[in-house]
Amino acid sequence: DQQVKQNSPSLSVQEGRISILNCDYTNSMFDYFLWYKKYPAEGPTFLISISSIKDKNEDGRFTVFLNKSAKHLSLHIVPSQPGDSAVYFCAASEAGGSYIPTFGRGTSLIVHP
Amino acid sequence: NAGVTQTPKFQVLKTGQSMTLQCAQDMNHNSMYWYRQDPGMGLRLIYYSASEGTTDKGEVPNGYNVSRLNKREFSLRLESAAPSQTSVYFCASTPFPTGRDSSYNEQFFGPGTRLTVL
């Protein structure tokens, strides 16, 4: 049973437009959420995170929104660039638990020039 | 700093052969992890080591063993490889958790080992 779900396997966006990647979770004990970016033939790299005490965290072109009541988070990339084309993994963990994140299956983002 | 390094980058095995995947980190991190990534399956945790001297099973430990050789190194062993173990393997590390509202559990990943079992 997936505790972290990324229901869109792929997303295609035009350069300069907004990319919105979604993630849903089922475990109400999750209180820390992360996004990782992965290029082909490389390991994932940390992108941005958010604690459950916040509902928004921004870092340059990347913003993560958290809706705890809906158990939903989203990653917004504005404006999207061709170099953003990658697989994005959503992950969630519980501070009071093992703190090891549970990963979603990933969304492949393609940004067209 | 090299970060997290993994060897080898590629490996082809025959069913029943054994091999060890090596991982090392130079960031003085306490915790280390082994994941496998399969198409459409995301990253699944095989084993982890919360600190030197300890190891624990993750989500998919069957068919694997691990050794936390020292603080820097964490190896993954396949004793008798099976085609179902064809995958890309990633090693990762994290500093010891330091607090709630921080990136205490941001993981640093190695470049991966692509393993094919025939």
Residue B9: pLDDT above 80?
Answer: yes
Name every chain B residue with its beta carbon within 8 A of the beta carbon of A6: 42
Largest Cα–Cα distance of chain A, in whole Å? 44
- Per residue in B47-93, pLDDT (tens digit) is 999 888 889 999 999 999 999 989 999 999 999 999 999 999 999 99
* Cβ–Cβ < 8 Å for A59, A48: yes
Beta strands in A1-113 (DSSP E): 4-5, 10-14, 19-25, 32-38, 45-51, 56-59, 62-67, 72-77, 86-93, 102-103, 107-112
- Per residue in A41-59, pLDDT (tens digit) is 999 999 999 989 999 999 9
Residue in chain B nearest A89 by alpha carbon: B42
CB contact under 8 A, B58 and A100: yes
Give the closest of A93, A98, A104 to B42, CB-based: A104
Residue A100 CA to residue B105 CA, distance in Å, equals 7
In CATH terms, A4-112 corresponds, of 3.30.70.2860, 2.40.50.100, 2.60.40.10, 1.10.1740.10, to: 2.60.40.10
10 Å CB burial of residue A10 (0-12, 13-18, 19+) is: exposed
DSSP string of A88-99?
A: EEEEEE-TTTT-
pLDDT at residue number B106: 84
Ranges of each domain in chain A: 4-112
At A76, the amino acid letter reads: H
Name every chain A residue with its beta carbon within 8 A of the beta carbon of B40: 9, 105
Residue B97: pLDDT above 50?
Answer: yes
Residue A2 CA to residue A22 CA, distance in Å, equals 15
pLDDT at residue number B78: 97
Burial of B106-118, coded b for 16+ CB within 10 Å and e otherwise, reads bbbbbbbbbbebe
